[in-house]
Amino acid sequence: MPEGDTIFRAARALNRALAGKTVKHFDTALAPLARRNDDEPVAGRVIEKVESRGKWLIVHFSGDLMLVTHMLMSGSWHIYRIGERWKMPRSKMRAVIATDNFEAVAFDVPVAQFHTARSLERSTMVPDLGPDLLNRNFSADEARSRLLAEADAEIADALLNQRVMAGPGNVFKSEVCFACRLNPFRKVATLSERDIECILDTARKFMAANVNDGSAGGIVTYSGARRTTHSAHPGDRLWVYGRQGKECRRCGAAVLMRKQGKGARSTYWCPECQPLLADASMPQVVKVEGWSVPVRRRKVGC
């Protein structure tokens, strides 16, 4: 499933290509969107902006109309110049927004709805999101309060809860727990203030590192493999996620994986670096991706 960093980058690229442009053509394979477009045509409207809110992507049109999409496991947005060959078959197209120069195509997007500002406020989905980790106005206090309200939840499950914080998914869940030396199966109620500070700081830093903008104002945005370590090598880009049975990059123990939560999502962790019981004798800082992150074990360089 695309996580918040992926959606942020997609929204940024779409905004650069489309914002301020007039829609020349709109097409969709989804009946609810088609019916709304028949009654209130999208063509002729100006695309005011494209933004992300956690894992949601929102295209704002003039005349109080928004296209709200969620990628779930398989969806993606592509940008093509007019006449350029699509990289996916038309059978996977769910919506097309075309301007004079570009086509933005949503492929395999399972959730796509038109909203007005009022209907979106009444929605039970987007307005209930927790603070967005990639938002400049991220409120650590609100995130802390929402996290603590999930006292009976396991830490990794709470990190997946978009009503606690918007953006992190399965990869960041495991990586943040590892960086903070927190066993992902502990209860939120066992977290110290230092643990919570580490979770919030590390989650923000990891996600921010994956939306670095090197496009110099163009529409191309970062599309490389997600990473939380200092290495750009494909095999070394993550600490524990996807590394079941391999040596922990810090202590050499075998990384474990277990399904967790109602969704049976894969959780990866190191049993040595992330014990269920904290060791008060462990030092408190480790370098992760060049940042100082509070943890509970020996100091290790990237």
Residues recognised as catalytic:
2-3, 55
Closest CA to 95 of 80, 108, 86, 82: 108
Q: Which residues pair with 77 in a beta bridge?
A: 106
Contact in structure between 90 and 12 (CB atoms under 8 Å): no
Which residues are CB-contacts of 97 (< 8 A; sequence separation ≥ 6)?
A: 18, 23, 26, 42, 47, 59, 67, 103, 104
User: What SS3 class is residue 13?
Assistant: helix
Report whether 99 contacts 42 (CB < 8 A). Answer: no
| CA–CA gap between residue 273 and residue 182 (Å, rounded) | 8
Q: Where are the beta strands (DSSP E) in the chain?
A: 25-28, 47-53, 56-61, 65-70, 76-81, 93-98, 102-107, 111-115, 256-260, 265-269, 285-288, 291-294
The C-alpha atoms of residue 245 and residue 264 are separated, in whole angstroms, by 19
